[in-house]
Every structure is written in C-alpha cells, then in structure tokens.
A and B are shown apart, each in its own frame.
Chain A
Amino acid sequence: MSEAQAQMSEDDADLAAAAGGASIRTAVVTTGGDYSSPYPDQVLENVLENVLIFLTSRRDRNAVSLVCKSWYRAEALTRSEIYIGNCYSVSPRRAAERFRRVRSVVLKGKPRFADFSLMPPDWGAHFAPWVIEMAEAYRGLEKLYLKRMNVTDDDLAVMARSFGNFRELVLVCCEGFGTAGLAVVASKCRQLRVFDLIEAEVSDDDEVDWLSCFPESGTCLESLIFDCVEFPINFDALENLVARSRSLKKLRVNRFVNLEQLHRLMILAPQLTDLGTGSFSPQDHPIDQEPDLVSAFTACRSLVSLSGFRETVPDYLPAVYPVCANITSLNFSYANITADELKPVIRNCHKLQIFWVLDSVRDEGLQAVAATCKDLRELRVFPIDATEDNVGPVSDVGLQAISEGCKKLESILYFCQQMTNAAVISMSNNCPDLVVFRLCIIGRYRPDHSTGEPMDEGFGAIVKNCKKLTRLAVSGLLTDKAFSYIGQYGKLVRTLSFAFAGDSDLGLKYVLEGCSKLEKLEIRDCPFGDSALRSGLHHYHNMRFLWMSTCRVTRQGCREIAQQIPRVIVEVFRWNQILEEGEKSDLVDTLYLYRSLEGPRADAPKFVNIL
C-alpha cells in the first residue's frame, strides 16, 4: 500500500475544494434550507472521527483516507502519528498542513547503504527544516523517532524549547550532534520518559557532562539507552540519576561502565526489564573484593532483555544464569565468546525469542542454540572477522541446525564465508514463518561449497516456501535464475538487497516486473543497465526508493527515467571518480531514485546531480 504522501498529491487540489464545500454545507444548515444531506454527513464525520482514533495502523489509515473526501478529512484530523519513510518525499510544510494534530513523528532520512560508507557525507537528510516547521505546527509533540538523519545540537535545542510535553526521543543511526545537544534535552524536557540513542554517532567535542543535566528532583525516565556512546561518562552522575529515576525500566550503558559500576547500578534498579551491561569486564585495578553479581542478577526478577557485553571477560558470564530462564532477548553481538562459554548460558534460555551473537561461537554454538531455544523468532549472527576468506567459523552446518531447532523463526541475518543450497532449502521448509531472510556470504560470488552450483536454488526455495516473506537479502554466486524466482514467487516482498549478483539486465527485469509489492530496492555491483532500469518505469512511483551503485546504468538512462516519470526524483552521484581531462564516461556511480511530492531538493550538495 503506498504511503500517505502519495495520496496527498491526488487530493491536494481537492482539499481546497473540500474546504469550500464544507462552508457551503454549513451555510445551508443555518439558513434552514434543504438539510437532508448535510446532517447525516456531519454526524457520520463525527462518528468516524471517534472511531478512527482507535485506528493505529498507518496502512489502514491510508486506505481510510482514500474512501472519500470526508473520510480523508476525518482521518487527517485524527492521525496522531505520522510516519515519513523518506524525509525528502514530502516537505515539512505539506505534512503539517494535512495532519494538524500530531503527537508523534517517525522520520527517516538516508537509505540503508549509507551505513556502509556508500553514501558521501553531507548528502543531506537534515532534521533542521523539520524541527523548525514542527516547532510551529506541533506544539503538543510528544514523541520523535529519527533514523539516519543529520541532527545538530541546535536542532535538539529547538526541539527541547518548543515542545512542552515532550516525552520520547529515539535517535537511531543519526549523527551531527554531541553532548551539548544531549544536555539541552536532558535539562529542558522535564517530562522525558524515553531517551534512546541507538547506534548513533555522538561527538564529544564539547565534553559536556550531559548525564548531570537531568532534573535534580527526580525524573520520569523509563528508558535510557546510550550504549553507542564512544566516550566515558560521569559515572557518579549516572548512579545518581538511576537512584532518582524510580520509573526506570530500560537502561543500556556504554562500554565505559565496568562490572563494579554495573553492580552498583543494578542494586539501585532491580525493577529493570532491559539491561545493557556495558563492558562486562572488571576495572583494571580492582580495589574491593569482587561484587556479588549473582545476587544482583537474581534480584532483577523482571529482566527480560540483556545486551552490552562489550568487552566480556567470560569468567563473569555465569553471573547471568539467574535471569536466563526469563529472558526473551539476548544480544551477545559484541561478546567474543566460544561455544563452550556460550553453552552454559544458552541452555537455560528456553524463552529466548531474539538472539544476536558473534560467529566466534561457531556452528557448535549455534547447534546449542537450536537445541534449547525453541521459541526463537529472530537470529542475527555477526562476523568477528569481516575479511573474505575460504572458511569461517559458521557455515551451512549452523544454519541447518537452526532450521531444525527453531521452527518459529521469523527473521534471520546470517553472515558466513560459505553456504550450501541444501541448508537454505532446509530452512525454507522448516521455517515457514520467515518474514525476513538475509544471508550474507562474505566471500563474493561464492557458489554452494559442496556442489559448486550457484546459490539460485536456495534463494528460490526461500521465496517459494516462505509465504510471508517481505524482506530478502541475497549473496553468493547468483545467476539471473535466482532473480526469476524472486520475481515469480516474491509477491509480498517489500525490501530487496542485491550485491555482486546476477548476469544481465534480465535479472533486474524479472524482479521489477514480478514483485508488485516492492518498496525498497538496494543494489550494488550488479551488471544491471539502462534496459533493466526502464523495465521498472511502471512501478517506481509505488516505491520508496531505488538505489543502484556501481552497476551499468548510464547518465542518459537515468535522464530518461527522470523525464518519463513525474514526481520521482532521480539523484545521480559521482563521488569517487575524478575524470582525467577529455575522459568521458557515461556510467553513473550511484543512482538514488525516490518518489516525492516536492520538486528537487534545495539542499543537495555539489556532487549530487538531480536529473
């Protein structure tokens, strides 16, 4: 279902007419003329508004807004959370004009490949124009969720100043701000309940002790997450903060908090449901005797989520045994532990649903997971060594074990050096609930290591057998056949990632012609060119974006697309190639294409060409 903003374009012109229509209607009512039509409409609108308040799903709301103008209006007035998947698809002004009573905003900026250094810095996704507009239009704003946006300290200051009832700030993969910005939020947002920094890049240039800036008398904090902060914090201030935040349920500290300090925090907050354990290693020169971590963990009866373990000393892992039976989410993705160190922990985690781990645990560790965690829904296995190699610590053996043990699996992200079609097919058969399947064979173009065949059949089985699949990332040696399977069976797929795959334009054509629900397509280093690009012309306005880097698309090809579809912005960058004089290349480095109600953005940097 296309996003709200698509409908806006069609109805924008109507909005003005509707406004005019409404006033005519009221005029009719007051003069006591023919009133058979307006009353039922008005009543219906009131009823609708009261009903719609309960409708939270944005896709449902988008459907509602398409019924007729009156429903469109009612929906616009009752939508309290707006979700903007691409900050450039709509301007802040336009959003604020349609949705006037918004209390929560989700705003996403850069596409995902920006996380992997494929996007030049200063590309855009600035929060500033949004916060300025919202400061005027949404004074009652309570929640803000930003992902991959560029947020400055000034933006945070405007935010803190403008929203008196502000409650929740979640910044995911954002950058551009520092401790000064955090300090302003901490001190000014007195109603703050959620303050989450997730994988954000926070600069320490200002060296402001932001943890000391929270209200002295006590806070309403329920969630404080700062495990991504890469510099030391004032621990005494943190301890004091935890002591005076009686509602605190989630606390994830960074790696500059050692075991002794963690112990002190846990004593103060046994009510925690979610704990990020920091470094999980003792301080360098322990003064006192070892803290009684086991008691501290035992006291946390409500703990269901554990993470951190940034510099784990495995000797201390047994301290978590008391909570294993209850935890549903465990993040060991920074813990460099072996299978033997994992086993005693995992064998108690019967209720585990979400598990993130480093491949240091090897296939053996994954087998242990498969043996115990029958309720597992999400698994992520990260590589400790990301260089391409022949053999790695996890392989098809681990994947096979997981597929046999964890039949309720819904989401998997698996990094490995080699894989077999058989294991992938096995997973497709054993785990019918799979919604997200992301397999990253680090060795590029690697075939099935036991048969030498391409990985086509494995991925084909996934799209064929996993009927609920909406997100797929492929890797390994793949021919156009794999793409034909995806196009043929991936009818519900919304997000696709391709890298170093495919033989020819046909591959991309199969996908663009077959996957009717496709919304996000990210491609790098595949041999797809203009002809393939053209085959998606019918569909681009239904997508959030298309990213193609280091493929065979030419400037001319991109220009054609830009000319043929209105309301789709075609950005082309050339940022790592400097041509010699007289050298001509028509090939484009990166193509980033997205639908938008606005024209080309004004804040594009020099290396971006908007066609």
Chain B
Amino acid sequence: MNFEETELRLGLPGNISKLKSNIVNSGATNVNGKRGFAEAANVDLKLNLVSSKGDGEIVDQAAESEEIKNLLGGAGSTDSVVKPPAKAQVVGWPPVRSSYRKNIISLQKAATKKGDEENEKVMSSPMGATFVKVSLDGAPYLRKVDLKMYKSYQELSDALGNMFNSFTIGNCGSQGMMDFMNESRLMDLLNNSDYVPTYEDKDGDWMLVGDVPWEMFVGSCKRLRIMKGAEAIGLAPRAMEKCKNRT
C-alpha cells in the first residue's frame, strides 16, 4: 500500500487532496488535514488561484499522488483568468460575517420549505452544505463529504470510490465500491461485493444506500458507513421489503 496515498488530507473527495495556503509555494504544504477553526459547516480550503500574469507557478511540485487532481487545471497556464471550480469554498470569502451567513442559510431553507415557487427561482443553487461523516470499515480514519456536491448516487459512488480507493484491502479488486444506483441489483450486489454503503437516517435507523430518490436521501442522511458485506446482511430484509413495496 502506498502510504502517501493514505495520508490524511482535507479536500473535496476526488478533487483536490492537498491544501496550499500560499500562492507560490516554496515547500510549505498543508499535508495534515487538520482543519483550522473554520466552522464545522465550511470546508477549510484555501485555494489560491493566481492570474498567472506575474507568475506561472501555481502547483506545488510535491503533489505526486494520483489522488491529487490539479484544481487549477493546466499548471503554468498562461490564460489570464483561472476560474475557481464551482462550489469551491474559500475561508472567509466572500467577506460576509459567518453569523449573518448562518442566518441566511436557515432563511433559504425556510423559504423553500414553504414551497414558494418564486423564491425557488431566485435561489438557483442550493446554499449551504450537508456534510456527513463517512466511515469505511477497516479504514484508519473517517472522511466527510458534502452531499450537496453531488446530483446522483452515481456521482457519490464515484467520489467515495476515489476517496477510499487506497483503503480497499483484500480482494475488493475491480468491484471496489458497489454500484448502488441500481436498486434492483441490491441483493445481487450484497451477495457479491465486499463492501456495502449504508447510512443513518434522521430517525436513527441504518438503511441501505440507494433505496430512496437522491433528493430524499440528501435530506435524510445523517452519516454514511461503508460496511463489510457480511455485516450488512441484517439490513437486507428491510431493503427487500422496500423493494417489494415498490414493485
């Protein structure tokens, strides 16, 4: 196992795993994924994207691991503007007081709850993040993902796959994470694959991922646990019930 790949890094799953807090990095990299003191809801990313007029050096040369995708696109690009990726969160930017933002987030939620169509038009992108802990049985530490970053089970599956790629010990092999988008394959997959993603919902029950429509899942998922297949057997009957009710 490549230990460098298992290094704890803070970042968007599948995107960046290395933080830099200086524009031109002469070797200082935040390798330890310890967050600063940003609020729990904010991922503490300090993305320094330079308009490369002054300096073409953008990327930390020490970024070797495959996990690290260069957020900045072509390193040393001479385009005048390097656009940040959508939905990236930079600490303290824009300069709106955090308490104010918290209030605005709850304001948005209240508005959409009331089903006001007009409001929904105004707010085109959902605000706020839904961070849930993700644990993988056998992994040394947990990760956190923002469910709002994904639009479907497939996207989440890919992201989790990337994130825990290096952790799959044993004969997970090419199957890696189960493809949980397809509900009807649930039972097959349970029998075949080593790992099964489950989640704890608002009521505190542990459910199999993939049962409910994506939006509902995002709204009710409190944490994710990727279990070894054998342990998930106990959940299967419930999943089967739901499958039966659907068909």
Could you list which residues of chain A lie within 8 angstroms of chain B, going by C-beta atoms?
113, 115-118, 120-121, 173, 199, 201, 228, 230, 255, 310-311, 333-334, 336, 338, 358, 360, 362, 382-389, 393, 415, 440, 442-447, 477, 479, 497, 499-500, 503-504, 524-525, 527, 550-552, 575-580, 583-587, 589
Contacts and interface: CB of A to CB of B under 8 A. Distances in A.
B93 A116 contact: yes
A579 B54 contact: no
A116 B23 CA distance: 20
Interface string B78-90: 0011111011111
Contact of A552 (B23, B42, B96): B23
Most buried by A among B22, B37, B46, B100: B22
Contacts of B51: 445, 477, 503
A587 B22 contact: yes
Given A120-B36, A580-B31, A586-B26, A387 B96 contact: no
24 contacts: A113-B95, A116-B95, A118-B92, A120-B37, A334-B107, A336-B107, A382-B104, A440-B95, A443-B83, A443-B84, A445-B51, A477-B80, A477-B81, A503-B53, A550-B21, A576-B30, A576-B34, A578-B32, A580-B31, A583-B28, A585-B26, A585-B27, A587-B26, A589-B21
A576 B81 contact: no
Interface in B77-134: 80-84, 86-101, 103-104, 107-108, 110-111, 118-119, 122-125, 127
Interface string B191-224: 0000000000000000000000000000000000
B179 interface: no
Given A578-B32, A585-B26, A117 B99 contact: no
B39 interface: yes
B122 to A, nearest CB: 5
A417 to B, nearest CB: 10
Contact of B36 (A173, A497, A575, A587): A575
B168 to A, nearest CB: 26
Given A199-B100, A388-B87, A552-B23, 14 more contacts: A116-B96, A117-B36, A311-B107, A382-B96, A384-B127, A385-B123, A444-B49, A445-B49, A445-B83, A550-B46, A575-B36, A578-B30, A578-B31, A587-B26
A134 B135 CA distance: 54
Interface string B34-57: 111111001010101111011100
B27 A415 contact: no
Contacts of B30: 576-578
Interface of B: 21-32, 34-39, 42, 44, 46, 48-51, 53-55, 80-84, 86-101, 103-104, 107-108, 110-111, 118-119, 122-125, 127
Contacts of B101: 386
B28 A117 contact: no
Nearest to A228: B99
B23 A336 contact: no
A68 to B, nearest CB: 44
A255 B32 CA distance: 40
A388 B82 CA distance: 13
A388 B84 contact: yes
Contacts of B25: 587
A112 B18 CA distance: 28
B55 A527 contact: yes
B94 A415 contact: yes
Contacts of B118: 338
B108 A384 contact: yes
Contact of A499 (B80, B93, B98): B93
Contacts of B99: 199, 201, 228, 230
A120 B91 CA distance: 12
Given A113-B92, A117-B42, A477-B51, A334 B97 contact: no
A385 B49 contact: no
Contacts of B122: 336, 338, 360, 362, 384, 393
Contacts of B90: 444
A481 B4 CA distance: 43
Contacts of B24: 527, 552
A110 B198 CA distance: 45
A248 B96 CA distance: 31
Given A477-B51, A527-B23, A384 B104 contact: yes
A477 B107 CA distance: 31
Nearest to B35: A576
Contacts of A173: 97
Nearest to B126: A385
Nearest to A478: B51
A338 B59 CA distance: 43
A579 B36 CA distance: 14
Contact of B125 (A333, A389, A443, A524): A389
A116 B21 CA distance: 16
B81 A447 contact: yes
B27 A584 contact: yes
Nearest to B10: A576
A388 B103 contact: no
Contacts of B22: 550, 552, 585, 587
Contacts of B44: 576
Contact of B86 (A382, A388, A524, A575): A388
Most buried by A among B27, B42, B88, B108: B27
Contacts of B100: 199, 333, 382
Nearest to B31: A580
A364 to B, nearest CB: 11
Given A311-B107, A388-B86, A576-B21, A383 B96 contact: yes
Contacts of A440: 94-95
A319 B37 CA distance: 43
A117 B89 CA distance: 13
Contacts of B49: 444-445, 500
Contacts of A447: 80-81
B125 A387 contact: yes
Contact of B110 (A120, A311, A384, A444): A311
A500 B95 CA distance: 12
Nearest to A115: B97
Nearest to B101: A386
Contacts of B123: 360, 384-385
Contact of B96 (A118, A389, A415, A477): A415
A501 to B, nearest CB: 9
Most buried by B among A115, A358, A360, A577: A577
Contacts of A360: 119, 122-123
Contacts of B84: 388, 443-444
Contacts of A121: 37
A474 to B, nearest CB: 12
A589 B108 CA distance: 34
Contacts of B104: 334, 358, 382, 384, 386
Contacts of A389: 86, 124-125
A432 to B, nearest CB: 26
A497 B95 CA distance: 11
Contacts of B38: 117
B191 to A, nearest CB: 42
Nearest 9 CB-CB pairings of A with B: A585-B28, A116-B92, A576-B36, A503-B54, A578-B32, A118-B92, A442-B94, A587-B22, A504-B54
Nearest to B30: A577
Nearest to B36: A576
Given A310-B103, A385-B123, A576-B30, A499 B95 contact: yes
Most buried by B among A338, A384, A393: A384
Contacts of B96: 116, 382-383, 386, 415
Contacts of A386: 94, 96, 101, 104, 127
